Amino acid sequence: MEDHATLRLEERPQDVLLVTLDRPEVANAFNTQTALDLTAVFESAGSHRCVVLTGAGERAFCAGGDLKERNALTDEQWHAQHKIFERMFRAVRDCPVPVIAAVNGAAYAGGLELLLHCDFAYTSKNARFALTEVSLGIMPGGGGTQTLARAIGERRAKEVILAARPFSAEEALAWGVVNKLCEPDEVLPETLGAASRVAANAPLAVRQAKRAIHGGLQMQLGDAMRFEIENYNRLVGSEDRREGIRAFNEKRKPVFKGR
């Protein structure tokens, strides 16, 4: 697979796509080109069964927006660039297949927002997390005020955001920001292992389940239950549903084709 200017892409077994932010010299901070590259990748990621997102090196997953690039922007240019960033975050959030973050170092500002748009995350024990925007005269603008509050609760999110308070990997695990702590050299292998487990399941079922969880959490329970059934019913006529039940009864491993 062809790399983009700021990313490295690698096809892994079972149709897993590994996406690496490749700007280690600036702690994998994203500039305009990175945002364009990520948008292009995630808007076309539906041909895979799972995506793993990580950063190059051990220093950082992603330090957020590249402030050196932003230093020379006029107000109008700032707004224009931020619209590109907004599309990037939407592309990750709305990716139809599961996206797992392998957090190999610091996830600050937009880097933490990027992580929060992934479906779940494994992290190095050495990682640190923060939404530092208010210390720079701005505020989280990549969904952080919404996604962090949903992950850790309103009062704790206010403390983290309003005080620009960093938190540790242990706190991230306890609060539900990440799912597992790993030794630094085990983060990527553990995350790829999780991606393989996801990819081994029926791809249509995985997509519909992701859609039901994400969409249903924005609804009242009764509406969410109906939304779940809508997604469930779309699977009844699929070849994969018939294959899964047939394989169970024949005591063999199913061969899912995403149809």
Q: Cβ distance 140 to 82 under 8 Å? A: no
Q: What strands, in cross-sheet order, belong to the sheet with 106-108? A: 60-62, 106-108, 128-130, 167-168
Pairing between β-strand 99-103 and β-strand 50-55 as defined by DSSP bridges: parallel
CA-to-CA distance for 93 and 116, rounded, in angstroms?
Answer: 9
- Is 11 considered catalytic here? no
Q: Which helix (H) or strand (E) holds 72?
A: none
Q: Residue 55 corresponds to which tokens in the numbers above?
A: 């950063």
The one catalytic residue in 10, 133, 171, 186 is 133
SS3 content of the chain, % helix, strand, coil (to 5): 55, 15, 30
The one catalytic residue in 2, 11, 25, 113 is 113
Q: Which helix (H) or strand (E) holds 164?
A: none
Q: How far apart are the first and last CA of the chain?
A: 24
- Is 113 considered catalytic here? yes
**DSSP state for residue 24 in the 8-state scheme:** G
Q: Which residues share a beta bridge with 65?
A: 30
CA-to-CA distance for 122 and 104, rounded, in angstroms?
Answer: 9
**DSSP state for residue 65 in the 8-state scheme:** B
Instruction: Please list the active-site residues.
Output: 113, 133
